[in-house]
Structure 1
């Protein structure tokens, strides 16, 4: 199919307007179809600093979740894990769970869990604990998670303890809901990272490097930025709620990603580039095969990753952005479009966003990979205007 020159010009103009008007300091946008790739690199890595390039490094935050899910599927396909087996053998700390009688109630007012946790619960975010869509610190369980430094809010890689201690602390808390009752965001991927490390017999980050990053040529993806690459890294910004002015949230040099973390977060820890995530997306579109021919996953595993895993009842009990589950559902580490209601998000497209300013998805029907990397934090679970304009313009740029 290819690209329309006029459409690419419109894509450039739409993104440049956000940079020029101060909405984002800089960005890298990529849209690919087949062997054809178009990239826009605009603005500055840091306000007043050097220019963004195609190889600029961004904190991809929750775009980590699909990578963690793929790592789990690797172990599932090797029969080292099974989707519906209890986790008790590998994570005995999580056996015999207690569950809050009320999510806003005291931590000692609990009932027994109806059943053990499973790998499927972690992959689909139905394990019964996660980020609640209420103000931080509203409930005792939120305050307890924060006091234990479990890192279940904005990504803070320098905060949580090492995996074994993280799991020990997490296991002291009851679940918020019964396993399987509802979808609740985030925490499943962090527990999954601990599980993967134990089953693989090596650190989570080493397993990702050996089984995903190296075969796909994702040389710049990891949990920290080496000192000699910090000149390619962005400064992260947040907008002041009252004035809209951008303030520094995390520096490139000396910030939280400038040294390896004690806890490599499976939910939101990675730093990456546009071309690295293009390689990841192409692997999925190619049925699980790396460019060099090495198979990461089988086509069946890729199909399962993006299959709707939630019942109507589970969706009705869940919350993220209002109306989210009216048009989308959740697979393994990714959201998929189940009803096309806006431009740029066709039926069957799947991927995920990063709340520190990024968005990525693949479209199997159209053979399209798209992503937008910025360094401005989201102000809400919904996509900011620059991301909405990117997806609309990216699909408009595809020629018929």
Structure 2
């Protein structure tokens, strides 16, 4: 019996997944590289590694390649914040202005632009839960949707590689209006960057140090950081933009990348680099209901709370989202405290389980956790934007088609 079959998977069908990625994405030049890591019942079922981590220098992608995980940073930051909730240092219904007093009277956009905004009072104060579930009224500059988005772009708020640090970001946000009253809608935003700031302020230690001491070291995530260290530089992959004709243009050269130096903005929303193996340790902790081995980060009931749908009135993203971000188009998917959550598998039109939770990164990386099947999947590549190809939906179909003995 093979390792795959002993864990309920068909080895032949898993190799079909490998062929699909190779032919559809690597040989066609759509992706420079790809890595898939699948684990079930605590053991790795399958790993695929292919392509080049650096096309210009002909360097192959390897199991320990370092990737920019962008928004896959968000669930890690959310776990860090909930660790402080468990310690009684902050509550989910606390107003954000308890720790950021200058935000107490943030208004909601009514008219105007940067330097001449007109606002109206918010329906209620922004709460911590709004930051975790993206109902805060904050936004991202890349949305290109409103005058508030334009102000974020003008001021460089929330941009990876920005020279604006967390303190500066908080100060600038305090002078801009919200896009809507907290709790009124869902909008992908710098909310998780604000959570990172709050983790540092509430814990009394720098945010990056909190992650290192409280999460990365206990889980053995030795390659996960906001900077590529000198000893790791040769393992760092290049990042590319997808072209309209299906090719790739270099977006970030690993030998001159801003990730080689300490960041100006320690971004809890998108600043980490990691490996598939490191991120799988984080996923295994989630599958372990908050613990990996002897190290418990959060309690099972806290994780249950995080992976419930927290969108008002039980709505899904299609009903509540004002975001142009592609992940928000998924029917049957709500949002918890740091994760998207499957609320109605039939509406997603892809194989999945009730209660499955997940997220992804801008360079097409992705992960998902299926508690029903005790399954975790991590996918790594480096192609911007994440909406260029439907790889995440295709991966779900291919992985679940190989799971021939479910819920065993």
Same fold, TM exceeding 0.5? Answer: yes
Distance 1:29-1:131 versus aligned 2 partners, 3 A rule:
same
The corresponding residue for 1:229 is 232
Distance 1:323-1:176 versus aligned 2 partners, 3 A rule:
closer
The corresponding residue for 2:11 is 5
- Alpha carbons 1:103, 1:176 under 8 Å: kept: no
Larger helix fraction of residues: 2
Which of 123, 129, 141 pairs up with 1:114? 123
2-structure distance, mates of 1:322, 1:272: 22
Which of 342, 363, 374 pairs up with 1:337? 342
Once the two structures are superposed, the pairs formed by residues 68-87 of structure 1 within 5 Å of their partners are 68-87=77-96
| 1:302 maps to 2:303 | yes
Deviation at 1:213, TM superposition (A): 0.7
> Counterpart of 1:351 in 2: which secondary structure?
strand
The corresponding residue for 1:29 is 36
- Alpha carbons 1:348, 1:363 under 8 Å: kept: yes
Deviation at 1:323, TM superposition (A): 7.0
Deviations 1:243-283 (A, max 9, x none): 33310111111112111112111111111111111111111
Deviations 1:138-162 (A, max 9, x none): 53322211121112xxxx4321412
Which of 188, 197, 200 pairs up with 1:185? 188
Once the two structures are superposed, the pairs formed by residues 147-166 of structure 1 within 5 Å of their partners are 147-151=154-158, 156-166=159-169
Deviations 1:154-202 (A, max 9, x none): xx43214121111111111111111111111121101111111100111
Deviations 1:72-116 (A, max 9, x none): 100000000011011223111211111112598985211122222
Deviations 1:41-61 (A, max 9, x none): 101101142111111111111
The corresponding residue for 2:4 is none
Farther off after superposition, 122-131 or 97-106: 97-106
1-structure distance, mates of 2:328, 2:266: 32
- Residue ranges of structure 1 left out of the alignment (5+ in a row): none
RMSD: 2.1
1-structure distance, mates of 2:201, 2:61: 38
2-structure distance, mates of 1:388, 1:326: 13
> Counterpart of 2:157 in 1: which secondary structure?
coil
Which of 318, 321, 324 pairs up with 1:318? 321
2-structure distance, mates of 1:119, 1:197: 15
Runs of 4+ deviating beyond 6 Å: 103-106
Distance 1:184-1:230 versus aligned 2 partners, 3 A rule:
same
- Residue ranges of structure 2 left out of the alignment (5+ in a row): 1-6
> Counterpart of 1:393 in 2: which secondary structure?
helix
1-structure distance, mates of 2:327, 2:361: 18
- Alpha carbons 1:182, 1:314 under 8 Å: kept: no
Deviations 1:263-320 (A, max 9, x none): 11111111111111111111111111122x1210000111111100002468534234
2-structure distance, mates of 1:64, 1:94: 25
2-structure distance, mates of 1:236, 1:349: 29
- Alpha carbons 1:309, 1:331 under 8 Å: kept: yes
Distance 1:379-1:193 versus aligned 2 partners, 3 A rule:
closer
The corresponding residue for 1:15 is 21
- Alpha carbons 1:106, 1:140 under 8 Å: kept: no
Distance 1:322-1:352 versus aligned 2 partners, 3 A rule:
closer
- Alpha carbons 2:112, 2:118 under 8 Å: kept: no
- Alpha carbons 2:65, 2:236 under 8 Å: kept: yes
- Alpha carbons 2:364, 2:386 under 8 Å: kept: no
Once the two structures are superposed, the pairs formed by residues 162-311 of structure 1 within 5 Å of their partners are 162-241=165-244, 243-291=245-293, 293-311=294-312
How many residue pairs were aligned?
A: 390
> Counterpart of 1:198 in 2: which secondary structure?
helix
> Counterpart of 2:153 in 1: which secondary structure?
helix
- Alpha carbons 1:28, 1:274 under 8 Å: kept: yes
The corresponding residue for 1:93 is 102
> Counterpart of 1:278 in 2: which secondary structure?
helix
- Alpha carbons 1:62, 1:353 under 8 Å: kept: yes
Compute the TM-score of the two structures, normalised by the length of structure 1.
Answer: 0.92
1-structure distance, mates of 2:79, 2:389: 27
Deviations 1:200-246 (A, max 9, x none): 111111001111111111111111111221111110000223x3331
Deviation at 1:127, TM superposition (A): 0.8
Deviation at 1:2, TM superposition (A): 3.4
> Counterpart of 1:177 in 2: which secondary structure?
coil
Distance 1:367-1:264 versus aligned 2 partners, 3 A rule:
same
> Counterpart of 2:368 in 1: which secondary structure?
strand
